[in-house]
Structure 1
Amino acid sequence: MAGLRRAGVIGGGFMAEVHARAIRAAGHEVHGIASSSPESGRLAARRLGVPIAFDSAEALIAADEIDVVHVCTPNALHFEQASAAIQHGKSVVCEKPLAISEIDAEHLRRAADDAGAVTAVPFVYRYYPVVREIRERIRGGEAGELLLLHGSYLQDWLANRADTNWRVSSDGGGPSRAFADVGVHWCDLMEFITGHRIVRLSARLVTAHPHRGAPGDRVLNEDMSLLTFETDGGAAGSLTVSQISQGRKNRLWFSFDGTEGSFEFNQETPDSFWIGGIDSSSTVTAGTGGMRSADARRLSMLPAGHPQGYQDAFKAFMSDAYSAMMGEEAFGLPDFSDGFRAAQLTAAVIRSSESQEWVVVPEFESASANERSVR
């Protein structure tokens, strides 16, 4: 196949499987995999149907037959592995957070720019068709002047004190968990859709369960984050993030409210969105004539009434990422500049929570998140 790219996936867990499916759906080859040990790499290769199990991440990155490196490992390993991949001249798809410190994330962004590497970070909620439709309508003025940008991202997978995971360790997961893990998805979506940038924020990080799992396992990152912010477009906003909300599986919800209308979206029902007005309100469904955006129609792969979900969004993201690697345009593709933006916001949230003061977020223009034209 002309233009076939051979991918190497580092990591053998859930996200590695999601990446592998999406790579194949994009028409490319999952050529090799490496995990935390040679044995776990071989097990992952058999489970995912990958022909080569490398003994280490280093061996996979250095292999001449690997064109694209996918980093799907614990957060603390992202910086080292993505850096090495760039140094070896590879394209890189790295899970967020790009790094567990703002400094390391900026280093990766600069290294990718200097090397001319094509990079991608899976902020995949951008790839729901209705998200692109909301973006075009808001940027076309249908909401009027945006005044209030608010929402939440709620999960329950760590609701009980006995629940644990490598992410609850600051060594493996980093100094922030709930915000750095899922809150940044909401912020990326808000900035991508509205064109507004968070310039100032006040945050509180809360650890509900200071010990998890076995006795003595201390938790040093947060279960909940509460955020109030201001944007460069004059809007105010708020965000609640939780990984301990019983019954909420993956509820990313927002309402962007303006002088002419409000736009509401819930990721758990991703095939529709709500438009609110004083005189009337309506629901728009993906795949119908109500979808006006060419970009939304491009991403609508199924007829109306056939739901597209998270893996479909991931496949669309991966298709754009590999198109970019082959020199094609991929509008809205999140890259390492967007990963750095998320690290900036995370660092500001931590500083604000520690100081209990409002914090200014440094200016940085991310081309894909802040692109003003609508296609």
Structure 2
Amino acid sequence: MNHGNKKQVRVGMVGYKFMGKVHSHAYRDVPFYFEPEAVPVLQAIAGRNEAELKQTAAKLGWLSCETDWRRLIERDDIDLIDIVAPNHLHAEIAIAAAEGGKHILCEKPLAMTLEQAYRMRDAAKKSGVVHMLSHNYRFAPAVQYAKQLIASGRLGRIYHLRATYLQDWLIDPRYPMEWRLQKELTGSGVLGDIGSHIIDLARFLVGGISEVVGRMDTIVKRRPLPGQPMSEEPDRAPMGDVTVDDACSFLATFENGATGVFEATRFAGGNRVGNRFEINGEKGSVRWDMENMNHLQVYFVDDEPGLQGFRTILCTEAQHPFAGNYWPSGHIIGYEHTFINLVSELMNGIARGDSPQPNFDDGVANQEVLAAVEKSVITKKWETVGK
């Protein structure tokens, strides 16, 4: 594809599984839908399994491979380091990338700990590189439109937010151990994995969170080690301890006085991506559900009696954020387009030299909430965020 004289951003990606596939697709498609100020080039991908890596690189369109992520940072033909590796690698890679003068896109959560998050943010700012955090759900047109309604005052003073992220993929106790279930590799369990998404959405839509009180539960405490067949009697297989939370809930107070109720779990049967929020204000309310991501439900208190109730807005009009770059009205978009929208902002940010939101500042703010929730579980009392 001919991109004329536009700046090229040569990407080096660390990791290549689920998120690697999603990010690769976004890089390839962003010039098709948008006119970004810079265009990505799939320069190199890094991973440990060389045979699998080469196969994946060929399928996804990457030009070269490296079996050591450090080589990506050493290479002069890489401008952006994209981190889709497990959480325990985020800080080391991001700090090395910043010190090497590379722009950074990092998967969520930003870090394993708040201390790591501070170091990552400080390294990125000190080096002056562009940094962004991959909280893709912000970039659904319906979520962006909800933000516009709130920011414009259409809902008035915000009273409260209810947010959930419900999954069910761990209900079977025979499901084997993986890195997301081990504290030394992931930091926290469902709280950091999917709870971080609804925290980021809440901060984006309603504002900063000042205090929290939470509860965390590990429902299945031991699981078969990886590589074991799915046995009807899992206790007979070699077992490992689950060292993170399976379910988490917490209450929150926002800096503007609004209250929040949050729940994240992997044990909510029938929910695949139950990422949902409802926000209530003095003049109206909005609801959103990721499993029906193109719709935003909107209610205004001053609607005439007899017609009051939630209306459903299909956010595919050209007037809706990002939607005009895709198809004619009513032709819906999907999960992958949230990443394309995010990458379009990242490319523009790199061209301009600024870090689009959500960036590492947002990652730190989210991490402060995660840390406060974890602390409150231990102290069994309300904890101030950021202290």
TM-score calculated relative to the size of structure 1: 0.90
Structure 2: stretches of 5+ with no match in the other structure: 32-39, 226-237
- Is 1:9 equivalent to 2:13 in the alignment? yes
User: For 1:252 and 1:298, how far apart are their aligned partners in 2?
Assistant: 20
Q: Which residue of 1 aligns with 2:224?
A: 213
- Is 1:275 equivalent to 2:298 in the alignment? yes
User: For 1:51 and 1:107, how far apart are their aligned partners in 2?
Assistant: 32
- Is 1:255 equivalent to 2:278 in the alignment? yes
- Is 1:102 equivalent to 2:110 in the alignment? no
- Is 1:150 equivalent to 2:173 in the alignment? no
Query: CA-to-partner distance for each residue in 1:271-317, whole Å, 9 max, x for gaps?
Result: 1111124541211111248x5x6xx2566522222111110010010
Tell me how large the CA RMSD over aligned residues is.
1.8
Percent identity between matched residues is 28
Query: CA-to-partner distance for each residue in 1:217-249, whole Å, 9 max, x for gaps?
Result: 100101111110111111111011111211111
- How far the C-alpha of 1:266 sits from its partner, in A, is 0.5
- Matches of residues 1-375 of structure 1 in structure 2 within 5 Å? 1=3, 2-27=6-31, 28-164=40-176, 165-174=178-187, 176-194=188-206, 196-214=207-225, 215-278=238-301, 279=305, 280-281=308-309, 282-288=311-317, 291=319, 296=321, 301-327=326-352, 333-362=357-386
User: For 2:101 and 2:55, how far apart are their aligned partners in 1?
Assistant: 28
User: For 1:53 and 1:65, how far apart are their aligned partners in 2?
Assistant: 13
Q: Secondary structure at the match of 1:143?
A: coil
Asked if 1 retains the 8 angstrom alpha-carbon contact of 2:296 and 2:312, the reply is: yes
Q: Secondary structure at the match of 2:291?
A: coil
Asked if 2 retains the 8 angstrom alpha-carbon contact of 1:317 and 1:333, the reply is: no
Asked if 1 retains the 8 angstrom alpha-carbon contact of 2:315 and 2:323, the reply is: no
Asked if 1 retains the 8 angstrom alpha-carbon contact of 2:316 and 2:324, the reply is: no
Q: Secondary structure at the match of 2:257?
A: coil
User: For 2:358 and 2:106, how far apart are their aligned partners in 1?
Assistant: 11
Q: Secondary structure at the match of 2:194?
A: helix
Query: CA-to-partner distance for each residue in 1:6-38, whole Å, 9 max, x for gaps?
Result: 111111211111111111222421111110243
Q: Which residue of 2 aligns with 1:366?
A: none
Asked if 1 retains the 8 angstrom alpha-carbon contact of 2:368 and 2:386, the reply is: yes
- How far the C-alpha of 1:153 sits from its partner, in A, is 0.6
- CA pair 200-299 structure 1, distance change in 2 beyond 3 A: farther
User: For 1:35 and 1:154, how far apart are their aligned partners in 2?
Assistant: 30
Q: Secondary structure at the match of 1:320?
A: helix
TM-score calculated relative to the size of structure 2: 0.88
User: For 1:246 and 1:56, how far apart are their aligned partners in 2?
Assistant: 39
- How far the C-alpha of 1:333 sits from its partner, in A, is 2.7
User: For 2:359 and 2:380, how far apart are their aligned partners in 1?
Assistant: 31
- How far the C-alpha of 1:355 sits from its partner, in A, is 1.4
Counterpart residue type for residue 19 of structure 1: H
Structure 1: stretches of 5+ with no match in the other structure: 364-375
Counterpart residue type for residue 167 of structure 1: R
Query: CA-to-partner distance for each residue in 1:146-178, whole Å, 9 max, x for gaps?
Result: 11111211011222112232111112111x111
- How far the C-alpha of 1:69 sits from its partner, in A, is 0.7
Counterpart residue type for residue 104 of structure 1: Q
Query: CA-to-partner distance for each residue in 1:16-64, whole Å, 9 max, x for gaps?
Result: 1111111122242111111024344323323323221112111122111
Runs (4 or more) in structure 1 with deviation over 4 Å come to: 297-300
Query: CA-to-partner distance for each residue in 1:55-87, whole Å, 9 max, x for gaps?
Result: 211112211111111111111011111111111
Asked if 1 retains the 8 angstrom alpha-carbon contact of 2:130 and 2:354, the reply is: no
- How far the C-alpha of 1:345 sits from its partner, in A, is 1.1
Q: Secondary structure at the match of 2:70?
A: helix
- CA pair 193-84 structure 1, distance change in 2 beyond 3 A: same
Counterpart residue type for residue 183 of structure 2: S
User: For 1:54 and 1:21, how far apart are their aligned partners in 2?
Assistant: 20
Asked if 2 retains the 8 angstrom alpha-carbon contact of 1:96 and 1:181, the reply is: yes
User: For 2:200 and 2:126, how far apart are their aligned partners in 1?
Assistant: 24
User: For 2:324 and 2:103, how far apart are their aligned partners in 1?
Assistant: 24
Asked if 2 retains the 8 angstrom alpha-carbon contact of 1:299 and 1:316, the reply is: no
Asked if 2 retains the 8 angstrom alpha-carbon contact of 1:129 and 1:299, the reply is: no
User: For 2:171 and 2:328, how far apart are their aligned partners in 1?
Assistant: 37
Q: Secondary structure at the match of 2:369?
A: helix
